[in-house]
Chain A
Amino acid sequence: MTLSKRKKMMGLTGLIMLLAIVLLPMTGYISTGFADTEIKQVEIKVEKTNPRADYWRAVRNNTAGYTAVKGRETGELIQGSGEVWRQLRNGPIATYGSWLIGITLAVLSLFYMWRGRVELIHPRTGKTVERWTLNERRMHWITAGLFIILGITGLSLLYGRMVLIPLFGHNGFSAYAAIAKWVHNILGPVFMVALLSMIVNWFSNNFITKVDIQWFKEFGGMVGDNHPSAEKLNGGEKIWFWSLTTVGMLLCFSGLVLDFPNFDQQREWLQLSHLIHVLTAFVLMSFAFGHIYIGTIGTEGALEGMVTGQVDTAWAKQHHDLWLKKLEDEGKAP
Chain B
Amino acid sequence: MARMKFLCDSERCIECNACVTACKNENEVPWGINRRRVVTLDDGLQSEKSISVACMHCTDAPCQAVCPVDCFYTTDDGVVLHDKDMCIGCGYCFYACPFGAPQYSQEGAFGARGKMDKCTFCAGGPEEDHSHEELDKYGRNRLAEGKLPLCAEMCSTKSLLAGDGDIVSELFRNRVVRREGRGESWGWETAYND
Chain A residues close to B by CB (< 8 Å): 39, 42, 46, 51-52, 55-56, 58-59, 63-69, 71, 73-80, 82-83, 85-86, 89-90, 156-158, 160-161, 165, 170-171, 173-174, 177-178, 181, 185, 258-263, 267, 270-271, 274
Contact = CB atoms under 8 A, between A and B. Distances in A.
Contacts of B70: 161, 165, 170
B143 interface: no
B31 to A, nearest CB: 12
A323 to B, nearest CB: 44
Interface stretch (B45-53, B117-125, B127-135, B144-152): B45-53
B155 interface: no
Nearest to A89: B66
Contact of B98 (A56, A75, A82, A174): A82
A64 B41 CA distance: 7
B168 interface: no
Nearest to A85: B95
Contact of A79 (B20, B47, B100, B112): B100
Contacts of A90: 65-66
B71 A170 contact: yes
Contacts of B97: 82
A174 B40 contact: no
A174 B69 contact: yes
A85 B97 CA distance: 10
A49 to B, nearest CB: 12
Given A52-B184, A59-B186, A65-B42, A86 B66 contact: yes
B105 interface: no
B88 A181 contact: yes
A167 B59 CA distance: 28
Given A77-B53, A82-B96, A262-B111, A177 B68 contact: yes
A69 B37 contact: yes
Interface string B25-67: 0000000101001111111011101010100000000100111
Interface of B: 17, 20, 32, 34, 37-43, 45-47, 49, 51, 53, 62, 65-71, 85-91, 94-100, 103, 106, 110-113, 182, 184, 186-187, 190
Contacts of A86: 62, 65-66, 95-96
A77 B10 CA distance: 13
28 contacts: A39-B46, A42-B45, A42-B46, A58-B41, A66-B43, A67-B38, A68-B17, A68-B38, A69-B37, A69-B38, A73-B100, A74-B34, A76-B39, A77-B41, A82-B62, A86-B66, A89-B66, A90-B66, A157-B90, A160-B68, A165-B69, A174-B69, A174-B85, A174-B86, A177-B69, A181-B89, A263-B111, A270-B91
Contact of B47 (A55, A75, A78, A161): A55
A79 B100 CA distance: 8
Instruction: Point out which of B32, B39, B90 has the most chain A C-beta atoms below 10 A from its C-beta.
Output: B39
Given A77-B53, A161-B70, A262 B62 contact: no
A65 B20 CA distance: 16
Contacts of B71: 170, 174
Contact of A83 (B62, B87, B88, B94): B62
A267 B111 contact: no
B103 A161 contact: no
B104 to A, nearest CB: 8
A52 B47 CA distance: 9
A234 B86 CA distance: 48
Contacts of A39: 46
Contacts of B96: 82-83, 85-86
A204 B87 CA distance: 46
Given A55-B47, A69-B20, A258-B91, 7 more contacts: A39-B46, A74-B100, A78-B187, A171-B85, A174-B85, A181-B89, A260-B111
B39 A75 contact: yes
